[in-house]
Structure 1
Amino acid sequence: MFNSIFILTNFIEKDPGFIVGPISKILGIIINFVFKFVYMITTDHSLGLTIILFTIIVRLLLIPLNYKQQKSMYIMQKIQPEMKKIQEKYKGNKDPEVAKKMQMEMTKLYSKHNYNPIGGCLPLFIQLPIFVALYFIMKNSYLFVSDIGNLYTEIANQILATPNYADVLVPIVTPLVPKGMTIDISQTTDLLKALNKFSPADWSAIQAGLPSLDISNLLAQKSSIEFFFGINLAEPVGLSFPKVLLAILSGATTFLSSWVISRKNKSDDPNMKLQQRIMNIVMPIMMTVFTISIPCGVAIYWIVGNLVQIVQQIFLSKYCEKKFAEQDLASSK
C-alpha cells in the first residue's frame, strides 16, 4: 500500500506556481553556484555535497535571527513572573472588557522589555519557503543546475538521434504523465521532463530496446552526481532500506534540536511545560512521517540543518547567557 503512494510522487511535475517558482529560481541560482564550486573539487556525490554546503550557508546566514530568537526566549523567562501576576489578577473573569485590560497590560509589559511574541518564530517563517522551493528544485535539478541540465540535454539529443526511439520510449513515458498533462517526446524540453523521472529499470529497458544507443558513460556520470552513498537524491525517501534511514534521522535530529532548545527555555508555567513536552514528542514523529514522502535531497537538507542548529544553539546559548548576565549586572548598578 505504501509503495503505491510513493510511486505517485514520481509523476512528471507541473509548473511550481507564481509563489514557489520565483523562490525556486533565486535558490536555484545559489545552488548552481555552490554546485559548480563542489564540482570543481569532485564529481562523485557532488549534488549531495552541494546540499550539505548549501544548508550550512543557510544556517550561517540565519545566525542573526537565531540570536534574536535566543534573546526573545531569555526576555520571556525574565518577564514570566510579571506575566503570571497579570494573569492571576484577572483569573476567572470572562468579561470581554476585562480581557482587553489584561491584554493591554501584557502589551505594555512586552513593550517595556522590547519583547516580540513572534520574534522567535522568524527563523521558521524563513525556513518554510526555502524548504518548499528546495522540494521542487530537488525533483527537477536539471532545470536549476546547469551541469546536470547539460548532461540531460546530451542524453536527450542522443536518444532523439536514434531510429525508432519513440517505439521504446512511449510505453515507458506514458505511466509517468499525470492526468490532464500532455507531453511530446519529440521535443527536447518535454523529453527532459520524462528523463528526469526515469528509474534504473527504465534506463535498462531503453538501452535494451535501443542497442545502437550508447549512453552508458553519460548515465554513469549522471549517477555519480545524483547518488549520495547509494541513494538517489531526487527520489522520495519511502520505506525501503537504506533510504528509510533518512526518515529516522530526520525524526531523531528534530527531537535533539527541540530538546536542546527547550533545555534552555525553562518555564515555571505548568501549561507551558506540558506544551513543550508534547511538541518535543509530536514534532519528531510528524517529521519522520513527513520525510517519507519528500525527496531524499530535501531530507538531507533537514537533517544537516538540524545538526548545524544544535551546534549553533549550544554556542549561542553560552554566548547569550554571558552577554545577558552582563547587561543585567550593568542595569542593576
Structure 2
Amino acid sequence: MLLTAYSGAILGPIAKVLGWVMNGIYMAMYNLFGIEDVALSIILLTAVIYLCLLPLTIKQQKFSKMTQIMQPEIQAIQNKYKNKKDQASMQAMQQETQLVYEKYGVSPAGSCVQMLIQMPILFALYRVFYNVPAYIVSVKNQFSGLVDTISATSGFQDTMTQIMKDYKLNVSVDFTTTDTSALKNYIVDVLYKLPKSGWENLTDYFSNVGSEVDTLTPHMNKFNYFFGLNVSDTPLNVIKTSFASHAWLILVAALLIPVISYLTQMLNIKLMPQAGSNGNDQMAQQMKTMNLMMPLFSFVMCFTVPVGLGVYWIAGAVCRSVQQLFINKYFQNLDMDDVIRKNQEKAKKKREKMGIAQNQIRDAAKISTKKIDSTAESNKMSSAQKELELEKAAAKKANAKAGSMAAKANMVRDFNEKNSRK
C-alpha cells in the first residue's frame, strides 16, 4: 500500500503517474544538489507538463488563427439564418457551418482537446499535492522513526483523533482499523497536515517523541515549506492561524498566493492572441467572459486548496506566458495560407480514403460571403449538400467491417441485384 494514494478509477492512475514523475524530480534534485523541496519539485513538474503540452498549445492556437480566417463565412451563415428558429433551418445552418470547417480542413472541436487533457491533470495534481508522502517515497521515509514511536504508544488512535479535532484537520483516516500498515499510513497523513504550531505542541500529546520531532523538524522545514508556508495547508487556514499568532509576514505570504495566481493568469491572457469579433459572435463573447472568470476563479479557489496547488497554478501561468512569447514570434513568421493548404491536403486524403470525391466537397463547401441570398429558402438542403451526404453514407457502407449490420445490408442488396438480373 503506497500510503493513502488516491484510488479513483480515472484520476487515480493519472495521479500515480504524476506522482512517479514528481518523485523522480525530487530525488534528482536531492542526489545532484542536496535540495529537499516539494514546492520546487512542483514548479519543475509544471514546467515538464507544459513542455509536453507545447505541441497541443501550438495546434490550438493555429486553430484559433484559422477560426479568424473562417469567421466572415461563418458569420454570413449565421446572419442568413439569424431569425429562423425552426428545426430544418437550424440543421441547415449546422450543415453549412460544418462544410466551412471541412473546406479549411479543421475540426470544430479543435479548441477543446487541450482543455480535455489539462483538466484531468489538474484534478490529479490536486490529489498528489494534497498528500505528497503518498507519492514521494523519500518524504514518507522521513516520518518512519516518529511513526514507529507513536504507533507503539498505548491509545495512540484516540490521541491522533484528538489532534485532528484540535487543529481542524480534514483528513480521511480510520483509526479503528486493525491493519498495522494502514494505521501507520494514517499517522503520516495526519502529521503531514499539521501546521507549524502543531509540530511545536506534538510533545504535549506524545511525551516520548521529543527526539524524533527534533530530528524531523529541520527536514520538514526544507521539504514541506515554501516561503514559510506549509505546502499541504490552505492559504485560508494559514491566514487564520497567522492572524491569531500575529505572524504578519506569514499572513502576507499566504495572501500573496491567490493574488499572484490571479495576476499571472491575467498576464497570460493578455499575451494570448484574441479572436476578433463584431460583437455578435456568441462564441467570442463566451471566450471573453471565460477569460475574465477563470483568473477570478483561481483567485477564490486558491484560498481553499493546498498551497502546493496554488504554486502549481502560478508556475503554470508563468510557463504559459513564457511559451506564449515564443509562440507569438513563431506565428509572426507563419504563412497561414500554407497552413490552410496543408490542412486541405490532409482533409482531402482523409475524404478520398472514405471514397468521397474532392470536387463534391469543393462544390458543397463553396460559400461566397458577398453573394449569400438572405431571402433564399433556408429549410432545404442544397443539391450539393445532399450529394455530399449520400456519398458519405455510400462510402461508410462500402467500407463496412465484416459481420457488421452495414456489411449484412450490402450482402442483401447484392443478392437482390443478382436475382433481379435473372
TM-score scaled to structure 2, two decimals? 0.68
Of 285, 289, 301, which residue of structure 1 is paired with 2:300?
A: 289
- Structure 1: which 5+ residue stretches go unaligned? 1-12
Give the SS at the match of 1:190. Answer: helix
* Counterparts of 2:184 and 2:192, CA distance in 1: 12
* Counterparts of 1:183 and 1:310, CA distance in 2: 46
Would you say 1:225 and 2:203 are equivalent positions?
Answer: no
Would you say 1:58 and 2:49 are equivalent positions?
Answer: yes
Distance change in 2, residues 1:217/1:276 (3 Å): same
Identity, % of aligned pairs? 27
Deviation at 1:268?
Answer: 3.5
* Counterparts of 1:114 and 1:147, CA distance in 2: 50
Distance change in 2, residues 1:79/1:271 (3 Å): closer
Would you say 1:182 and 2:174 are equivalent positions?
Answer: yes
Matched with 1:266 is: 276
Give the SS at the match of 1:196. Answer: helix
Ranked by relative contact order (alpha carbons within 8 Å, sequence separation 6 or more), the top structure is 1
Deviation at 1:56?
Answer: 0.5
Within-5 A mapping of 1:301-320: 301-320=312-331
Work out whether residues 26 and 37 of structure 2, in 8 Å CA contact, stay in contact via their aligned partners in 1.
yes
Letter in 1 for 2:98: T
Distance change in 2, residues 1:328/1:21 (3 Å): closer
TM-score scaled to structure 1, two decimals? 0.85
Within-5 A mapping of 1:87-166: 87-161=78-152
Letter in 2 for 1:131: L
Deviations 1:273-309 (A, max 9, x none): 5444433322211211111111111111111111111
Within-5 A mapping of 1:169-248: 169-173=160-164, 182-184=174-176, 187-213=183-209, 214-215=211-212, 216-238=214-236, 240=239, 241=251, 242-248=253-259
* Counterparts of 2:219 and 2:153, CA distance in 1: 20
Moved more, 39-48 or 210-219: 39-48
Distance change in 2, residues 1:296/1:45 (3 Å): farther
Deviation at 1:204?
Answer: 2.1
* Counterparts of 2:93 and 2:337, CA distance in 1: 32
Work out whether residues 75 and 281 of structure 2, in 8 Å CA contact, stay in contact via their aligned partners in 1.
no
Work out whether residues 236 and 292 of structure 1, in 8 Å CA contact, stay in contact via their aligned partners in 2.
yes
- Structure 2: which 5+ residue stretches go unaligned? 240-250, 343-422
Work out whether residues 43 and 224 of structure 1, in 8 Å CA contact, stay in contact via their aligned partners in 2.
no
Work out whether residues 76 and 115 of structure 1, in 8 Å CA contact, stay in contact via their aligned partners in 2.
no
Letter in 2 for 1:220: P
Deviation at 1:162?
Answer: 5.7
Of 29, 36, 41, which residue of structure 2 is paired with 1:38?
A: 29
Matched with 1:71 is: 62
Deviation at 1:118?
Answer: 2.1
Distance change in 2, residues 1:148/1:329 (3 Å): closer
Work out whether residues 70 and 320 of structure 1, in 8 Å CA contact, stay in contact via their aligned partners in 2.
no
The alignment's C-alpha RMSD in Å is: 2.9
Deviations 1:46-102 (A, max 9, x none): 111111110000001001100110110011001111112211222211221111111
Work out whether residues 231 and 243 of structure 1, in 8 Å CA contact, stay in contact via their aligned partners in 2.
yes
Matched with 2:16 is: 25
